[in-house]
Structure 1
């Protein structure tokens, strides 16, 4: 596929590509719960990855805010379009990898279904504060499956690795947020500790394999600038 150099470097073209692929990512996120229910049909029993370490982790409702913010972070990646040091092929590869990352998680959920730690939490004992109400909504909207690896952690790790190599300043600025978001998965008792480790592993796999060895490699062969 040949693309003119003018179009390749056009900011509006980059924004259009980003919006299109981000929209596609959100469309693929929509059947997230369906994947959970499908896994219940395909396989039983479910695996519990609860460990003694999870019993030591406190329930901290305030961490619901960094947990929710991930959904906006995925949308905010559109700003990568304005970073000149990120080439158009790297930008497209980044968004395509996000999609492949989600699909990879879906495959694991179907093959290795695990329970979420949310099934072990009785929110009634914590009152009716705003944070508890938000966590209740999250529990009700989601399914107590699709836990390992944590899809919350995986894209955070992938995005962190990408910014570390392509936008170092942004990496350091966003690092506290990323750490808080990762910790939020266990502090609001939505995931077990092992789910985080799985998410970190998939995040690294996404960057070093799906992004560098697959998306970037083949797009460089497919797209030619004239």
Structure 2
């Protein structure tokens, strides 16, 4: 895609969202767009991971001894499930205005690129996370709620969602975006990064992922931010932007 084509695509997306805003309002349009984005990401992921699981082909095993040395922590599932909060926060804390809407579209587009790369890897180089026996053992004697959550998770998400971890790569992009929004709110940024690091670590504590998945997820998220987000953010979302202070101070 040429720069002109890319610019045209982003402009078309912005016009489409602007048209929706004219009918339902800015806030409602953003939430509707976010819901559509989330459903598309989730459905595409589930379709591919269930296809790979049904095929049952494993290309290689990136498991290392440290993966089994890390204890299974059933309660880490609560941190694991906080990934949904990043999708919500990107809309909830977004400043008002056209520039902010364009920035949100940039984030959504980057998430689609990230999921496309991840799903391609799942299909071409599948790896199985064969660690769930550790969690089954750790769940013995634990409450019914935890058993129900893990049972539901295992039915929904087969253990072929290995690398790179979308849980990590996508939330890293959104965490960096939120950190940019909160550039003048240091305490929010501190809480944000403590929460994100805890969530990232939870993917290995829940035995949903390997350490390799964590590392490659971070790498993919960082690459996505550098290549597909930063160059395309409106000037007001740049540290050098003249409007940045006004935008961020109006953030809830």
Q: Same fold (TM over 0.5)?
A: yes
Q: How many residues align?
A: 214
* Distance in 2 (alpha carbons) for counterparts of 1:44 and 1:174: 38
Structure 2 counterparts to residues 77-96 of structure 1, below 5 A: 77-82=90-95, 87-96=100-109
Structure 2 residue aligned with 1:127, among 132, 137, 141? 141
Residues 1:105 and 2:123 aligned together: no
Q: Is the 8 A contact 2:53 2:158 kept in 1?
A: no
Residues 1:136 and 2:151 aligned together: yes
* Deviation (angstroms), 1:40: 5.2
Structure 1: 5+ residue stretches without partners: 218-226
Residues 1:171 and 2:189 aligned together: yes
**83-92 or 30-39, larger mean C-alpha shift:** 83-92
* Distance in 2 (alpha carbons) for counterparts of 1:103 and 1:190: 20
- Corresponding residue number in structure 2 for 1:197: 215
Between 1 and 2, higher relative CO (CA 8 Å, sep ≥ 6) is seen in: 1
**17-26 or 66-75, larger mean C-alpha shift:** 17-26
* Deviation (angstroms), 1:117: 3.7
* Distance in 2 (alpha carbons) for counterparts of 1:19 and 1:118: 37
Q: Is the 8 A contact 2:122 2:162 kept in 1?
A: yes
* Deviation (angstroms), 1:83: 5.7
Q: Is the 8 A contact 2:73 2:205 kept in 1?
A: yes
* Distance in 2 (alpha carbons) for counterparts of 1:81 and 1:147: 31
Deviations 1:29-66 (A, max 9, x none): 12323212333577833322110111221111111001
Q: Is the 8 A contact 1:115 1:146 kept in 2?
A: yes
* Deviation (angstroms), 1:216: 4.4
Q: Is the 8 A contact 1:47 1:114 kept in 2?
A: yes
Cα distance change of structure 1 residues 161 and 73 upon mapping to structure 2, 3 Å threshold? closer
> Scaled by the length of structure 1, what TM-score is found?
0.79
> Scaled by the length of structure 2, what TM-score is found?
0.72
CA RMSD of superposed structures (Å): 3.1
